Amino acid sequence: MDELLDGYRRFRATAWPERKALFEKLAARGQRPQTLVIACSDSRVDPSMIFDAGPGELFVVRNVANLVPPYQTPDHAHHGTSAALEFAVKVLEVANIVVLGHALCGGVRAALEGGPAVAQDFLPDWIKIADPAIVVAENLTKDPEERRRVAEYACVKLSLRNLETFPWISERVADGRLTMHGAYFAVATGVLERLRPDGTFGPA
C-alpha cells in the first residue's frame, strides 16, 4: 500500500495540476466516452496506456481472459460483465466496442490446461465461456505455444460473437450506431494487432 500512496503523491504533485481543469470538466458534465474496451485483468495490459487515452476517453471492463458471456435472460444472479455492457451501450451510448486480447494470457492458459488448484471456486466456471475457442485451437495445432496463441486470438473472436447475442448490441450494430473491433496486444514487443475483415490479425 505504501507504494500506491507514493504513486498518488506523485500524481497530486505532477499530473493533477496539469489535468485539474479536465477533471473539473468531467466532474461537472459527467463521462461521455466513445469507446468501451473489454480487456483482460492481467496487470501487464493497461488499455489506457496502450491507446494513450486520458481520463474520460475509455469505459473499460476487465475480467479474466477478456471474455464476454452470451446474453442470458435477466434474472437475480450477478452478471458483472453484462451489467457493464448494458451501462456502456444503453446509458453512455458508446459508438465503439473493442475486445482487447493479449499474449501470455493466464486465463487462456487455464482454459487450455485447467485452472490452478488453489483457484477452484469461481475460475473454472468462468473460463468455460472460452470452451469454443479452445476447441478451435486444439483442432488447428498441437504445438503448445501456437495453440495458446491461436486460443488467445479465438477468445477475442468468441467475445465479439457473444456480444452480438445481446439484442440491444446487435440492433445498434445493424443500424450503424455501434461498431465492434478486435485487437491483440503482444506484451513482450508492444505490438498491437487488429482483427481484419478476413478473420486474421495483423499489426495496427
Q: Return the active site residues.
A: 40, 42, 44, 102, 105
Extract the runs of DSSP E, i.e. beta strands, from 14-107: 35-40, 58-63, 96-102
Number of other residues whose CB lies within 10 A of the CB of residue 163 = 22
User: For residues 36 and 6, is the Cβ–Cβ distance under 8 A?
Assistant: no
Interatomic CA distance for residues 79 and 166, integer angstroms: 13
d(CA 68, CA 116): 21
Beta bridge partners of 187: none
Residue with cell 493533477: 16
Question: Do residues 115 and 72 make contact, with C-beta atoms less than 8 angstroms apart?
Answer: no
CB 103 within 8 A of CB 184: yes
